[in-house]
Amino acid sequence: MVDLGIAFLPDHRMVWHYHSKSREGGAADVVAGDIGEIVPGALFRLEGDAAEAMEKKEGAPNYYCKKKVVVLTADGKQVEAITYVVNEKNIKDNFIHPKTEYVDLIRKGLSIRGLPTKMLDDSLNCVYPSFPVKSVFVYGTLRKWGSRHDIITRYDPYESVEKCKTNALMMDYENFPGLIPGDKVVHGEIYSYYNPSRPLEHLDFIEGHQNWRSPKCLFQRRIVTIDSQDKQRFAWTYMICNWDAPLVESGDWMEHTRYRKHNR
């Protein structure tokens, strides 16, 4: 089993509606949640006998079942993966309290990878929706002084940071930029919301994000790692699906458009 690093299951939440005899209490499950909810975890490649061992560990298909999902890595990519969800016949209508040792095991796994534990904590208290990632990274027309910045501000962000950056490639589509995964520096701003579901729903619409498998998407919602005020954090952003455009070398759309206007 090869550890491929951290990953996030988007628009899902963690729940506790299954009693595990081996765990002597509740065992975790994931189900579809609100837009912007996200379950942090790890991504592995199973090799050799590992796939069979995983099936046995999860008690598939009697207790947990395979489910094909799309997960998001912290560098703006998406990956087709398999996770395990509780077999519907084993789901209870009530909260099943897990043992402390089991919760501590999950918490330790998240913490050593630098992942937020908010979804875990909220799920244990049945607090939904839960948003471990509250920030949105904008890099083009949604930035301050951009033509669509009002969309960002109308949802009353509780925080804004105007100078931050991430690693990606910025492409020039004449009237707007688009990001694709890469290792250059891209400059932008982040805006944070107590409940990012409403702004993300609006942004999904205007950016043409339908889902992570649709070939018709103009942009897709992804996760990136942001450097901001000497700290790192995770944020939502939108990556373009059509990569055929010139590179913006500066990685700064505002600087690029000022230069382009001056030299025409």
How much is the pLDDT for 261?
61
The answer to whether residue 129 is domain-embedded is no
259 has a pLDDT exceeding 70: no
The answer to whether residue 78 is domain-embedded is yes
The answer to whether residue 130 is domain-embedded is no
CATH of residue 34: 3.10.490.10
How much is the pLDDT for 158?
96
Residues 43 and 112 in one domain: yes
How much is the pLDDT for 73?
98
Query: pLDDT category, 48, cuts 50, 70, 90?
Result: confident
Residues 37 and 106 in one domain: yes
Average the pLDDT over 63-78 and give the result: 97
Into how many domains does the chain fold?
2
Between CA 248 and CA 252 the distance in angstroms is 7
Between CA 85 and CA 62 the distance in angstroms is 11
Domain range enclosing 161: 135-262
3-42: string of b/e by CB count within 10 Å (b at 16+)?
eeebbbbbbbbbbbbbbbeebebbbbbbeebbbbbbbbbe
Q: Single out the residue in 124, 148, 164 at which a domain terminates.
A: 124
Residues 68 and 187 in one domain: no
The answer to whether residue 154 is domain-embedded is yes
Phi then psi dihedrals of residue 172, to 5 deg: -100, 115
Residues 119 and 235 in one domain: no
The answer to whether residue 24 is domain-embedded is yes
260 has a pLDDT exceeding 80: no
Residue 208: closest CA among 242, 232, 235 = 242
Average the pLDDT over 212-241 and give the result: 93
Query: pLDDT category, 243, cuts 50, 70, 90?
Result: confident
Average the pLDDT over 7-19 and give the result: 98
78 has a pLDDT exceeding 90: yes
The answer to whether residue 17 is domain-embedded is yes
